[in-house]
Amino acid sequence: MLDIAFIRNNAAAVAAAARAKGMNVDLDQILALDVALRCDKTRLETLRAERNRIVAEFLTAAAPLRTAGAERSRAIASELSALQGRVTETEQALRELLLTVPNLPWQGAPIGPDEKSNQVVRVVGDRPDFGFTPLDHVAIADKHGWIDTPRIAKVAGARSYVLKGRLALLEQALLFDTSRRLAQEGFQPISVPALVRGDGFVNTGHFPFAREDTFELPRDGAYLAGTAEIALTGLHGGEIIEERDLPLLYAGFSPCFRREAGSGGRDVRGLLRVHQFYKVEQYVICRDDAEESAYWHARLLANAENILQDLGLPYRVVECSTGDMGPGKVRMNDIETWVPSLACYRETHSCSSLHEWQARRANIRWRDRRGRVHFCHTLNNTAIATPRVLVPLIENHQTLQGQVRVPAFLQNYLGWEELL
C-alpha cells in the first residue's frame, strides 16, 4: 500500500506504474475520497473546538447565553455523530481502494506486459551434453518406483503426487540442508503454519490480487498459504521494532498450497506444477533505506544461486518486467533452471523487494535512535522449493543407465553416490 500523501503528490507516476503493470486503478475516485475525507476531518476539528469553547464559557455565561449554548452543543453533538460516521465510511472506502494501488517499479525494470518481456541478466553453468537421449523426470522416477501418480490421483486428484524411497529422502535432505546453510548466513530457521486468516493475505498483497489461486476454508475464515512470507509478515503486524533489532532475517519453512487456477492445463505431467509443495523462504524486514534493501536483495539472490551452483544445475537469472513482477514489487528477479526434457529454462526461484508496500498494509514499523517511527521494508526470496527443483536435479544428473548422481554435499545426508 502506498501512502495517500505520496499518491496525492505523485498521481502521474502512480498512474504510470499501474499502466506498466497492466492494472486498472481508479485514481480519480481515490483522490476524490481523499479530498472529502480531509474536508470532513477539518470540519470535525472545527466542531470539536467550538464545543470545547462553549463548555469553557458555560459556567460564566448569563442564563440566556447558557440556554443558547446548550442548544448549540446539542446541534454540534448531532452533527459530530453524523460526521464521524461518514468519516469512518470514507476511511474504509479509501483503504479498500488503496489496497488496489500497485507499487512503483524500479527504473531498471523492463517495461512489458508479461514474462516474455523479462531480460536475461546472466547465465550460469553449462547445459549437459548427455551423448544419449535423456529421459524426463517422470520416466526416471517411474523406473525406480520413486513416484506413484496414478494411485495418489485416486485419492487427491490432479496435480497431486507422492515421493517414495530415496527420492523422498532426497527431498527432505534438500530442505534440511537449505535451512542449515541459511542459519549459517544469520537467518533464523522458523517453521510456520500454512493455514492463515484472510487479513494475512491482504497484508502481504496476495489479496485482492491472487484470491482465485488460493484454497479457502470458508467455515474457518482461513486460507492455505502458498508461501511462508504470509505468516512471517503477520508475525510482526502492528509492531514497532527497535532499530537495534533490525534487520530481521528468517528462513521460513512451510507446506505450501496453490490452486494453479490460471495454469490452463499446463504442466499436468510430473512434478513441475502441483497443488501442494514445500518451501524454505528467505524473508527480511529492514529499515526503509533503498540502499539497504538493494543490499539484501543481492544477498538473498546470491544465497539461492549458491544452492543451485552446489547442486550443479545450470540456470539463468532474469530481470522481471513490470507486467510480470506483480502489484507490490519494486523489483523482482527470477532464477530459471535448465530442464533438459523441455529444452528450456523454468522458474525455480523468485527474489522480490517490496520496500514499505507490505509494511504499510501490515503496519510494521521501526523506531530509530531519536525515537522517530518509520515503516519498514520487506523482501523475500525462494531458497528452495520442492518438488519443483527435483525436476532439473533428476534430469540434469541422469546417467545412461537411468541412475541419478547425487550432488556431493548431499551425499553426507544420504550415504550413497547415486540414486539407484
Residue 57 belongs to a domain with what CATH number? 1.10.287.40
Statement to judge: residues 203 and 298 lie in one domain? yes
Mean pLDDT (whole number) for 75-104 = 93
379 Cβ neighbours under 8 A, 6+ residues apart: 282, 283, 284, 286, 293, 296, 297, 300, 351, 352, 353, 354
Residue 58: what pLDDT? 65
Query: Does the structure show a pLDDT above 80 at 102?
Result: yes
Task: Report which listed range, 75-89, 204-218, 365-379, is most confident.
Answer: 365-379
Residue 62: what pLDDT? 63
Max Cα distance, the chain (Å) = 106
pTM of the model: 0.92
Query: Does the structure show a pLDDT above 60 at 287?
Result: yes
Query: Does the structure show a pLDDT above 80 at 65?
Result: no
Question: Which residue among 51, 258, 361, 365 is the active-site one?
Answer: 258
Cβ 279 vs Cβ 384: under 8 Å: yes
Query: Does the structure show a pLDDT above 80 at 296?
Result: yes
Statement to judge: residues 288 and 386 lie in one domain? yes
Query: Does the structure show a pLDDT above 90 at 404?
Result: yes
Give the confidence band of 68 by pLDDT, cuts at 50, 70, 90: low
C-alpha 227/C-alpha 252 separation (Å) is 9
Out of 35, 64, 98, pick the residue that ends a domain.
Answer: 98
Question: Which residue among 43, 273, 316, 367 is the active-site one?
Answer: 273
Query: Does the structure show a pLDDT above 70 at 365?
Result: yes
Q: Name the percent of the chain lying above pLDDT 90.
A: 80
Give the confidence band of 175 by pLDDT, cuts at 50, 70, 90: very high
258-263: long-range pairs with CB below 8 Å, 24+: 258/213, 258/214, 258/215, 258/226, 259/212, 259/213, 259/214, 259/215, 260/159, 260/213, 261/212, 261/213, 262/212, 262/213
Statement to judge: residues 133 and 54 lie in one domain? no
Statement to judge: residues 246 and 339 lie in one domain? yes
Out of 46, 70, 98, pick the residue that ends a domain.
Answer: 98
Burial of 404 (0-12, 13-18, 19+ CB in 10 A): buried
273 part of the active site: yes
C-alpha 182/C-alpha 134 separation (Å) is 33
347 part of the active site: yes
Does residue 108 form part of some domain?
no
CB atoms near residue 25 (< 10 Å): 20
Beta-carbon-side half-sphere exposure of residue 59 (alpha carbons within 13 Å)? 2
Comparing 40-44, 249-253, 327-331, which segment has the lowest mean pLDDT?
Answer: 40-44
242 part of the active site: no
Q: Which three cell numbers stand for residue 253?
A: 519453512
CA angle 253, 197, 382 (to 5 degrees): 25
Does residue 103 form part of some domain?
no
- Higher confidence at residue 158 or residue 55? 158
Residue 69: what pLDDT? 62
Task: Give the Å distances, CA to CA, from 65 to 125, 159, 409, 410.
Answer: 88, 78, 88, 88
Residue 195: what pLDDT? 97
Does residue 41 form part of some domain?
yes
171 part of the active site: no
Residue 170: what pLDDT? 94
Does residue 110 form part of some domain?
no
Statement to judge: residues 44 and 119 lie in one domain? no
Beta-carbon-side half-sphere exposure of residue 35 (alpha carbons within 13 Å)? 6
Question: Which residue among 51, 299, 388, 395 is the active-site one?
Answer: 388
User: Considering the chain, what is the average pLDDT of its residues?
Assistant: 93
Give the confidence band of 367 by pLDDT, cuts at 50, 70, 90: very high
Residue range of the domain that includes 36: 4-98
Residue 363: what pLDDT? 98
Strands 188-191 and 248-257: parallel
Residue 355: what pLDDT? 98
Statement to judge: residues 281 and 403 lie in one domain? yes
Name which of 260, 201, 262, 265 is nearest 227 in CA terms: 201
Residue 92: what pLDDT? 96
Does residue 104 form part of some domain?
no
400 Cβ neighbours under 8 A, 6+ residues apart: 130, 131, 132
Statement to judge: residues 262 and 372 lie in one domain? yes
Query: Does the structure show a pLDDT above 90 at 284?
Result: yes
Residue 61: what pLDDT? 59
Does residue 290 form part of some domain?
yes
Give the confidence band of 67 by pLDDT, cuts at 50, 70, 90: low
Mean pLDDT (whole number) for 131-144 = 94
Q: What is the tally of structural domains in the chain?
A: 2
Comparing 90-94, 144-148, 243-247, 276-280, which segment has the lowest mean pLDDT?
Answer: 144-148
| Residue 133's CATH number | 3.30.930.10
Does residue 107 form part of some domain?
no
Task: Give the Å distances, CA to CA, from 408 to 309, 310, 415, 418.
Answer: 11, 8, 10, 10
Query: Does the structure show a pLDDT above 80 at 26?
Result: yes
Question: Which residue among 350, 356, 360, 365 is the active-site one?
Answer: 350
Question: Which residue among 171, 347, 356, 395 is the active-site one?
Answer: 347
C-alpha 356/C-alpha 103 separation (Å) is 9
Query: Does the structure show a pLDDT above 60 at 265?
Result: no
Mean pLDDT (whole number) for 106-124 = 97
Residue 415: what pLDDT? 82
Query: Does the structure show a pLDDT above 90 at 305?
Result: yes
Statement to judge: residues 282 and 206 lie in one domain? yes
Give the confidence band of 413 by pLDDT, cuts at 50, 70, 90: confident
Give the confidence band of 412 by pLDDT, cuts at 50, 70, 90: confident
Residue 57: what pLDDT? 67
